[in-house]
Structure 1
């Protein structure tokens, strides 16, 4: 698929473990693990040899049960967690030739503030709840080096209107908003610097069904209008079905299946994917 294009994001053999590991779990090739947990040394292998690509204008879905490693993957990509091993390349950063995981802290901040936006499952992690909504957007712009107050104010108003936050509430703190409105403010903040890549981590979890639908519809509209690349993780295959062009399925820290979303829904190959699809049909 699109093999003539350079991916916007290329991830190769990403690993993340909690614990030092031991001879039992390292040398046995994972044979002694209980799912992704070593009963000998208590090391958790959250991500194991994760490899994938995201292309321009594509929505790639990552689906898996709670504890499968999908949110850890997102934390590693956004530098909220340090990887244990692996590589990642962004085409707009040094022509896609430098492994972003091995860059300095200063360069990681540069990448995070200019080339990626993230919407967290818990808005408290993505927003300063005591700042105004427009102030949250200004914070992201300032972090990227913008110092023009008028430009930042204009950009903030434009984005908040774009995500359907009423004009008269843009100077109100997100703590006064509903969960769905907080997620929309997060989306506006994540888009403030026109990043080529948007990371969405369980953005509808905990929201009422009607609010979930409006947030998903907003994401779809924004992605089509801006032609931005999106990586979205969810435990809900219904969310992935609505949004994703391609999907990877993660179980116990490993990718067990990947392909076009329609293909995975119509003809799942792995037993775990079959269970997911069956639960969607019930």
Structure 2
């Protein structure tokens, strides 16, 4: 594994609410789970730090409300982060905390360095555009102007995610959930981003469809050596995809390590419950 992380996340914080004397001080705050009963502030993400290495799949697992998706939205600039630092090992943004960049620079990162696959395809696709049009849109946003090369690239990606080309002019709203996720994956990959975020991508899909989407993700990772962060409440998904994993509870990291290690010898009581529920 390369020594230099492609993504470094340090002390990420996301709170909903102003905070009060009872909860503002990190050292002395007393919360119920991640909630201050005095002022109602929710600390959705608390002091989260981790590295993502080139070609690695990092799993982030935790129950609903653990802060994992909120954190991912913050990394992808879909939501404002309250505090912390994020660094990407890329010449365009080297040694810059990307959370502090201008909206134009963040757009550059979203177009070139990040891909995102949402739990609900409605957030990642324009349902009234054709499938090929959805992929083209991302390339045009990144400055692509050559129509024939955009179309060729879009077709290649649709074939890679097993969407029949005879259906490329169809709108994703006519597709099944699994096919919509495949189009989303193709769109996310359109500009060869080094980092791909996957947020609960198999939730709500039938088991057989889940399996085919997971197989596709594994195949893409093998072929492209892309770095991925996979967020899921389902430990079976994490076990299949992730090299290393982070377990989150109430906005904080409670355990991290090699996925196999966490599954075979979970240390934290909550992780133990997760693992035993999988057996």
Equivalent residue, structure 2, for 1:199? 197
Equivalent residue, structure 2, for 1:136? 134
Structure 2 matches for 1:98-137, cutoff 5 A? Answer: 98-137=96-135
| 1:25 Cα deviation after fit | 0.8
Contact 1:118 1:199 in 2 (8 A): yes
Matches of 2:168 and 2:90, distance apart in 1 = 32
- 1:29 matched to 2:27? The reply is yes
Q: Deviations over 1:101-153 (max 9, x none)?
A: 00000000000110000000000000000000000001100111111111110
Matches of 1:63 and 1:142, distance apart in 2 = 34
Q: SS state of the match for residue 48, structure 1?
A: strand
Q: TM-score, normalised by structure 1?
A: 0.97
Equivalent residue, structure 2, for 1:257? 255
- 1:64 matched to 2:74? The reply is no
Equivalent residue, structure 2, for 1:275? 273
Matches of 1:36 and 1:95, distance apart in 2 = 33
| 1:32 Cα deviation after fit | 2.1
Q: Deviations over 1:222-280 (max 9, x none)?
A: 00000000000000000000000000000000000000000000000011100000000
| 1:26 Cα deviation after fit | 1.4
Q: SS state of the match for residue 86, structure 1?
A: strand
Structure 2 matches for 1:176-255, cutoff 5 A? Answer: 176-255=174-253
Matches of 1:160 and 1:30, distance apart in 2 = 52
Report the number of matched residues: 279
Equivalent residue, structure 2, for 1:85? 83
| 1:94 Cα deviation after fit | 3.3
Cα root mean square deviation, aligned: 1.0
Matches of 2:211 and 2:26, distance apart in 1 = 45
Structure 1: runs of 5 or more not aligned:
none
Contact 1:69 1:251 in 2 (8 A): yes
- 1:16 matched to 2:14? The reply is yes
Equivalent residue, structure 1, for 2:153? 155
Q: SS state of the match for residue 22, structure 2?
A: helix
Contact 1:220 1:243 in 2 (8 A): yes
User: Do the aligned partners of residues 14 and 28 (structure 1) sit closer, same or farther apart at CA in structure 2, a change above 3 Å counting?
Assistant: closer
| 1:5 Cα deviation after fit | 1.9
Matches of 1:190 and 1:20, distance apart in 2 = 35
Equivalent residue, structure 2, for 1:146? 144
Matches of 2:155 and 2:114, distance apart in 1 = 21
| 1:29 Cα deviation after fit | 3.2
| 1:30 Cα deviation after fit | 5.9
| 1:54 Cα deviation after fit | 0.5
Q: TM-score, normalised by structure 2?
A: 0.98
Matches of 2:213 and 2:129, distance apart in 1 = 22
Matches of 2:121 and 2:141, distance apart in 1 = 19
| 1:92 Cα deviation after fit | 1.3
Matches of 2:44 and 2:186, distance apart in 1 = 30
Matches of 1:279 and 1:96, distance apart in 2 = 42
Contact 1:93 1:111 in 2 (8 A): no
Matches of 2:18 and 2:235, distance apart in 1 = 33
